[in-house]
Chain A
Amino acid sequence: DGGITQSPKYLFRKEGQNVTLSCEQNLNHDAMYWYRQDPGQGLRLIYYSQIVNDFQKGDIAEGYSVSREKKESFPLTVTSAQKNPTAFYLCASSPTPLGLAGVRYEQYFGPGTRLTVT
């Protein structure tokens, strides 16, 4: 059964603690992405990775870190430096990196992790 999995579905943490969100895909997609969604706002890109062992910052990378050691996995760590970490976090993937000349591919989302920090 192919798809993108995120775990856990709900996560609660105390302020000052780092927390790691899992994202796994078995679609053999090259590119993976992390977004955050806040009420009333669109999706904002945190980090993306086009290939293993390479990743780039998105628009709101401060306070977050990622790794891409395996093609199928792209975990996101929310550090204590992130000032407003409570949000809905979405992982996505696409068959190839977006932006290649003449190449157009869609992006698919995992089920999301809802993080609450108190």
Chain B
Amino acid sequence: QKEVEQNSGPLSVPEGAIASLNCTYSDRGSQSFFWYRQYSGKSPELIMFIYSNGDKEDGRFTAQLNKASQYVSLLIRDSQPSDSATYLCAVNIVGGNQFYFGTGTSLTVIP
């Protein structure tokens, strides 16, 4: 069973703060890692992907990958109320045809 674990939250941060979302995965064959944002009642939207160890930055978002620790995180700097959503972590394994999703972390940014 390939598992992706996320803290379901809810996570609350004040506006302007850094939000840190974490994800662990069980399969060491995992090679591709994705973060999706899902607003209530809407479909997931891809916001970040990372394939190599280290940090990847895109605007206010930074994805961090540590394959040795089987850990991927998403940092949101200068959090805005519009960032309030559920964030889904997904992984794909080497040779696999599927994405495996966590259950998501609910983030609320308080004005």
Binding site for B on A (CB under 8 A): 40-43, 45, 48, 50, 56, 58, 90, 97-99, 101, 104, 106-112
Contacts and interface: CB of A to CB of B under 8 A. Distances in A.
Would you call the interface of chain A mostly helix, strand, loop, or mixed? loop
A55 B103 CA distance: 26
B46 A107 contact: yes
B62 interface: no
Given A50-B97, A104-B92, 5 more contacts: A43-B90, A98-B97, A101-B94, A109-B36, A109-B44
Contacts of B90: 43, 107
B42 A99 contact: no
A109 B45 contact: yes
A56 B97 CA distance: 10
Interface string B63-80: 000000000000000000
Given A42-B88, A42-B104, A111-B42, A104 B31 contact: yes
Contacts of A48: 97-98
B111 interface: no
Interface residues of B, number: 28
A43 B104 CA distance: 10
Given A97-B97, A98-B92, A106-B49, A40 B103 contact: yes
B102 to A, nearest CB: 6
B51 A104 contact: yes
Contacts of A108: 46
A99 B96 contact: yes
A42 B4 contact: yes
A41 B46 contact: no
B96 A42 contact: no
A88 to B, nearest CB: 8
A42 B101 contact: yes
B95 interface: yes
A58 B98 contact: yes
